[in-house]
Amino acid sequence: MAVRLMTERKVVPYTGNMATAEALRQINPDVVAAYPITPQTEIMHFFANYVANGLVDTEFMTVESEHSALSAAVGAAAAGARAMTATAGPGLALMWEILGVASGMRLPIVIPVVNRALSAPINIHCDHSDMMGARDQGCIMLFSENAEEQYDNVIQAVRIAEDERVRLPVIIGMDGFIISHSIENVSLLTDDEVKKFVGKQTLTHSLLDIDNPVTHGPIAMADSYMEFKRQQREAMMNAYKVIREAGEEFAELKGKKYEHIETYKTEDAEYILIVMGSAAGTAKYTVDGLREKGEKVGLIKVRTFRPFPYYDVVDVIDASNVKAIGVMDRAETFGGYSGPLFEEVCTSLYTRGKIYPITGIVYGLGGRDCNLNHIEEAFDVVKRKAAGMDVPPVTYLNLRV
């Protein structure tokens, strides 16, 4: 049996990768299959040490590719095991086919992802093109702002994924290097608290139940395929509720409440930025600075990207004094109007009959720095948009011309 290490709550100086590995240890999954890819590697280093020293009960599969990592996780999950993998950037891209298999087969696999840019050119640093590329593969997607959020989100993800109303894979993204390799204070739960929070899985249609043999993954022709896709949409709608419930329960445990979005000084804001991931931290700091100068600026951080919290976003915008909105995407949608987050926000507004000046901002591709000055620049763009000035569909931050 797994050893109890953390008997008291602690605040520790951890990187995002350490915090993720710690969450994995405390969750003590049945099967973890993974393949090394920068900047995810460390998660597996730490976890492999737990395995090697008997601190977890996990069957740890060091497979020969990310494709096989998720394939093995699919097999394990269909057998009823609590299965996990972790990857980054091109690794997630290689998993892409099986992400759809996992969600289509309704298997609750938890997948921490360290966000990394996709090739070419090859680049190991952060952007969100990996998860954005996989956004329509039917997985729940959460983004973390810092190491502690990643820790908390991974723990909540087990509950969300396995909820009978959901049964979908959950991908939890944290920004490569910016979060994965930076040391921050992380407040940890005790082993017992995590064990209790994640609970025990129920065996649903297990392949190991040989007295009740089931067929997983049959071929569905035109007469049934669409029904299963409709079921997946329903599961995502349910996930919207379940993510909120898990967040509320987690708040009771840890005090910190997780919702689909987090707002920062939006109540009276005239200029709002919408952002995901680590840039939210920088943006909050920038908002404080600009507020000191008397500027009415605010921030919406999107935590849940799938299912997208359409109502939450619009309600917050509507309750503010907004004159213009800037949506910051850490990914490109080549040939689209702007980035994927921009599109979601526009859809949310339009379908509620709310038309505000809005502009797209692309930043931080391939690890390009995004500091206070760049966020200020983003607010400047939003202000120009509010003033009716000519603003291009996409403004690139920190780009050499």
Partner 1 sequence: MAQVSDKPKFVTREEVKMPPLKELTSMRDKIAPGHRLCTGCVAGTILRQMFMAAEAADYTLIIANATGCVEVCTSIYPYTSWKVPWIHNAFENAAATITGVEAAYKALKKKGMLPSDKKVKFVALAGDGGTYDIGFQSLSGAFERNHDFIYVCYDNEAYMNTGIQRSSATPRHASTTTQPAGKVIPGKPQPKKWMPEIAVAHGIPYVAQLAPSNFNDFFKKFTKALNTEGPSYLNIFCTCPRGWRAKEEEGILISKLAVETNYWPLFEVENGSWKINYKPKERKSVVEFLKKQGRFKHMFKSGNEHLIEELQQDVDKRWERLLKLEQL
Partner 2 sequence: MKGWKNLEIGAVITEPGSSTVYKTGEWRAWRPVFQRENCIDCMICWVFCPDSSIIVEDNKVVAIDYEHCKGCGICAFECPKSKGDNESKKALIMKPEYLFREED
CB 371 within 8 A of CB 349: no
Show the site string, 3-32: x = touches partner 1 by CB under 8 A, - = not. ---------------------------xx-
Residue 235 contact, options partner 2, partner 1, none, Cβ 5-8 Å cut-off depending on partner type: partner 2
Residues 6+ apart with CB under 8 A from 199: 159
- Per CB under 8 A, contacts with partner 1 among 205-224 are 206-221, 224
Are 171 and 184 spatial neighbours (Cβ–Cβ below 8 Å)? Answer: no
Query: Any idea how long the chain is?
Result: 401
Under rule CB under 8 A, residue 53 binds partner 1: no
Stretch that binds partner 1, among 163-171, 187-195, 204-212, 350-358 (CB under 8 A): 204-212
Whether the Cβ atoms of residue 228 and residue 101 lie closer than 8 Å to each other:
no
Residue 225, C-beta contacts closer than 8 angstroms, at least 6 positions apart: none
Given the complex with partner 1, which of 76 and 274 has the nearer CB atom?
76
- CB of residue 29 to partner 1, shortest distance in Å: 8
Decide if residue 139 touches partner 2 (CB under 8 A). Answer: no
| Position 81 contacts partner 1 (CB under 8 A) | yes
Antiparallel, parallel or unpaired: β 140-143 and 304-306: antiparallel
| DSSP label of 365 | G
Nearer to partner 1, 98 or 172 (CB): 98
Residues facing residue 13 across a β-bridge: 185
Q: How far is the CB of 57 from partner 1 (least distance, A)?
A: 6
Please pick, from the candidates 231, 321, 347, 351, the single residue that binds partner 2 as defined by CB under 8 A: 231
Interface of this chain with partner 1, residues 275 to 304, rule: CB under 8 A: none
- Quick check: 199 binds partner 2 (CB under 8 A)? no
For position 230 contacting partner 2 by CB under 8 A, the verdict is yes
> Rounded to an integer, what distance in angstroms lies between the CA atom of residue 301 and that of residue 367?
19
> What token pair was written down for 396?
């690139």
CA distance 374 to 176: 19
Q: What is the DSSP code string of 258-315?
A: --SEEEES-TT-SEEEEE-TTHHHHHHHHHHHHHHTT--EEEEEE-EEES--HHHHHH
Distance CA(258)–CA(379), nearest Å, equals 26
CB-CB contact of 330 with 368 (8 Å) = no
Kindly state whether residue 321 participates in binding partner 2, applying the rule CB under 8 A: no
Residue 163 Cβ vs partner 1, minimum distance, rounded to whole Å: 19
Token pair belonging to 341: 């987050």
Among 65, 119, 224, 373, binds partner 2 (CB under 8 A): 224
**Of the two residues 77 and 378, which places its CB atom closer to partner 1 in the complex?**
77
Cα–Cα distances (Å) from 308 to 53, 119, 154, in that order, read: 40, 27, 18
Residue 99 binds to partner 1 (criterion: CB under 8 A): no
Give the range of 89-97, 113-121, 174-182, 212-220 binding partner 2 by CB under 8 A: 212-220
Among 82, 106, 303, 306, binds partner 2 (CB under 8 A): 106
What is the Cα–Cα distance from 281 to 286, expressed in whole angstroms? Answer: 9
* Two tokens, residue 3: 């050893």
The verdict on 74 binding partner 1 (CB under 8 A) reads yes
388 part of the interface to partner 2, by CB under 8 A: no
Query: Interface residues with partner 1 (CB under 8 A)?
Result: 30-31, 33, 57-59, 61-65, 67-69, 71-81, 83, 97-98, 101, 203, 206-221, 224
